[in-house]
Structure 1
Amino acid sequence: MASLPDVKSLNSLPVEQQAKVLDALFEPSPAIHACLLPSISTTSFQSYDEFINQAQKIFEALTADPTQKAQLHSIIGSHPRLGAKKVESAQSAAEQAQLQSGDATELTALNAEYEEKFPGLRYVVFVNGRGRPEIMENMRARISRGDLALEEIAAIQASCILELGSSRHSSNEIVGNV
């Protein structure tokens, strides 16, 4: 993963560099850019944790606004499918690597079932060392629960937990450019 610039300079960076920071923390996504770039430019942050917590609040506000569902689902849909071979961010690649053993066919079927149950969403979970069987059990439980609003919130929370870990790893080596 690319090193992140000092968060205190984030609001003064050119928009292109701010977008690269978002791509490094989250997934490359025009919807994420549209949602977060205005906040980056107008807010000073003291830490990446503070920035990601702010991003989570912005994303969660979308869950309460029916007119913003398309943008919310685009943000959640930018996350790679569980078990995907090709992923955009280093954080997702690390998460996916933990799940590469086991029955890929079953995971593909579960992804399809999840996306049929929750159109526009991707199953997002903080893997945190759990194996494929435990993750698939969680996926089945969430499909059975069938609650779109809870899925939207769970996906946003999991994404932000992932990004908190990602920012802590990346900001160990701070540089001027992303």
Structure 2
Amino acid sequence: MALPQPQDLCKADEAGQIQTLDLLFEPSPAIHSTLIPTLRDSQYTSYPELIDACKTRLFSLASSSSSTSPDETLLSILGSHPRLGAKKVDSAQSAAEQANLQGEGEELAKLNREYEDKFPGLRYVVFVNGRGRPEIMENMRARISRGDFSQEVDVALQAMCDIAKDRAYKLGVKQ
């Protein structure tokens, strides 16, 4: 499925905007309510430009959040990504992106639990980008050991935007 022309999104109906956000990010009412105004506010000439504007909005939301008082919308956005190695993944894009992570699911499930215990309300998000399970699990361990909630939020949001740019590239634009 190809994406609509980015310059048409500001005029698209809400259903079309939601469908585009679901393809770029993940299906999530919190993503919709946070980012639809970004789609409507400007006319974008490219998907990287649009995604950078979404990133600015997401980081603005994150700046008002802390580990002691996390923003519920932010947590919902970060929680929209499937757990790495999960058996049931809602979006076809996530399933394809995680294809290299199949097998040895118990260890990945254990690391997901450790991560979520260390960072309540967060979900581990990483741009897999073809990396295999050992490299991803090492990244998870390093981030758990670092233990910095605010940095985790920033890293996860950056990963979501990197994933969105990769998806936009792979999906292409309707001509």
Q: Considering the TM-score relative to the shorter chain, is it more than 0.5?
A: yes
Sort the TM-score into its range (normalised by shorter chain): over 0.9
Deviates more, 1:113-122 or 1:67-76: 67-76
Q: Does 1:71 align with 2:70?
A: no
Report what 1:170 is aligned to: 171
Corresponding letter in the other structure for 1:144 = S
TM-fit CA distance, 1:88: 2.1
TM-fit CA distance, 1:68: 6.6
Deviates more, 1:68-77 or 1:22-31: 68-77
Q: Does 1:150 align with 2:162?
A: no
Report what 2:53 is aligned to: 54
Corresponding letter in the other structure for 2:166 = G
Corresponding letter in the other structure for 2:46 = S
The answer as to whether partners of 1:84 and 1:96 remain within 8 angstroms in 2 is no
TM-fit CA distance, 1:169: 1.2
Corresponding letter in the other structure for 2:71 = K
> SS in structure 2 opposite 1:128?
coil
Report what 1:10 is aligned to: 9
Query: C-alpha separation between the residues in 1 aligned to 2:129 and 2:17?
Result: 27
User: What TM-score, normalized by structure 2, do the two folds share?
Assistant: 0.94
Query: C-alpha separation between the residues in 2 aligned to 1:55 and 1:68?
Result: 20
The answer as to whether partners of 1:91 and 1:162 remain within 8 angstroms in 2 is no
The aligned runs of 1:90-129 (5 Å cut-off) are 90-101=92-103, 103-129=104-130
Where in structure 1 do 4 or more consecutive aligned residues deviate above 4 Å? none
For structure 2, the residue ranges without an aligned partner over 5 or more in a row are: none
Aligned pair count?
172
The answer as to whether partners of 1:26 and 1:89 remain within 8 angstroms in 2 is no
Corresponding letter in the other structure for 2:90 = E
Structural RMSD (CA): 1.3
The answer as to whether partners of 1:117 and 1:143 remain within 8 angstroms in 2 is yes
User: What TM-score, normalized by structure 1, do the two folds share?
Assistant: 0.92
CA distance change for structure 1 residues 168 and 89 in 2, over 3 Å: closer, same or farther?
same
Query: C-alpha separation between the residues in 2 aligned to 1:19 and 1:68?
Result: 25
